Amino acid sequence: MNVHQHDPHDEHDHGSELSDMQLRVRALETILTEKGYVDPKALDFIIDAYETKIGPHIGARVVAKAWADPDFKRRLIADATTAIGELGLPARSTHLIAVENTPRLHNMVVCTLCSCYPWDVLGLPPVWYKSAPYRSRTVMDPRGVLADFGVSLPPDTEIRVWDSTAETRYLVVPMRPAGADDWSEEQLASLVTRDCMIGTGLARAPGAAS
């Protein structure tokens, strides 16, 4: 009585481990559903929310607003949970902390112990964020990690790494690129990449915006 539809897309997954996992997870869902512990429709809702509603576009909107509205930025840095609460976003944030990059300071976020990440504003983390290379190296060699992302900072820029060891979550407010002075918030949001809100990237230059 597995109620969710078999997804033909899965047949295209590579390798036997994924097929094994498909069977294994389907078996677990069957058991949990038959025993009444989970409602597959609730699962569908959660999956859809993270696939279509909650993602880095939310954080980009927050950063663009901070760039465009100095008063909002002050409130965001002082108390991000409250400041973001004003925006009516789909997921309420809790224990959220915004940290601002400046010409002298670059912030990076990691979770060395697991994969803590600000889901409310960035959605689910990419595979690299959860990977052993990122988790092991960022606290010890952040410039080396930045090089993997093609980012090179001036040698005297201070780098601050935030290891997310508690339920506090960090959002990096990147520097606003030059050349977008008269841009609207919506236009500015197009310059804000997911990586620049984790600290492994910089905001796009206006000419490079996609």
Partner 1 sequence: MNGVHDMGGMHGFGKVEREPGEPVFHASWEGRVLAMNRAMGYLGLWSIDTGRFSRETLPPHVYLSSSYYKKWTLGLENLCVQFGLVGDDELAAGRALHPPRPVKRTLAAADAPKLLSRGSFDRPAPAPAKFKPGDRVRTRNINPPSHTRLPRYARGHSGVVEWVRGCHVFPDAVVNGEGENPHWLYTVVFDGRELWGAAADPTVKVSIEAWEPYLELA
Of 16, 19, 115, 190, the catalytic one is 115
Please tell me the distance from the alpha carbon of residue 58 to that of residue 71, in angstroms, as a whole number. Answer: 19
Amino acid sitting at position 185 = E
Say whether residue 190 binds partner 1 (CB under 8 A): no
Q: Decide if 108 contacts 161 (C-beta within 8 A).
A: yes
Least separation in angstroms between residue 75's CB and partner 1 is 17
Q: How far is CA 4 from CA 27, 28, 106, 128, in A?
A: 12, 13, 45, 29
User: How does DSSP assign 146-196, residue by residue?
Assistant: HHHTT----TT-EEEEEE--SS-EEEEEPPPPTT-TT--HHHHHTT--HHH
66-95: contacts with partner 1 (CB under 8 A): 90-95
Q: Decide if 120 contacts 54 (C-beta within 8 A).
A: yes
Q: Phi, psi at residue 159, to the nearest 5°?
A: -110, 125
116 catalytic residue (yes or no): yes
Query: Of 45-53, 71-79, 181-189, 202-210, which part binds partner 1 (CB under 8 A)?
Result: 45-53
Site string for partner 1, 138-177 (x = CB under 8 A): xxxxxx-x--xx-----xxxxxxxxxxxxxx---------
Query: Of 59-67, 71-79, 127-135, 179-187, which part binds partner 1 (CB under 8 A)?
Result: 127-135
196 catalytic residue (yes or no): no
SS3 209: coil
- From the list 3, 78, 87, 114, which residue makes contact with partner 1 (rule: CB under 8 A)? 114
Say whether residue 30 binds partner 1 (CB under 8 A): yes
Say whether residue 59 binds partner 1 (CB under 8 A): no
- From the list 27, 78, 87, 205, which residue makes contact with partner 1 (rule: CB under 8 A)? 27
Written as six digits, the tokens of 73 are 């930025």
Name the residue nearer to partner 1 (CB basis): 35 or 181: 35
Paired with 107 in beta bridges are 160
Say whether residue 134 binds partner 1 (CB under 8 A): yes
- From the list 132, 178, 182, 207, which residue makes contact with partner 1 (rule: CB under 8 A)? 132
Say whether residue 117 binds partner 1 (CB under 8 A): no
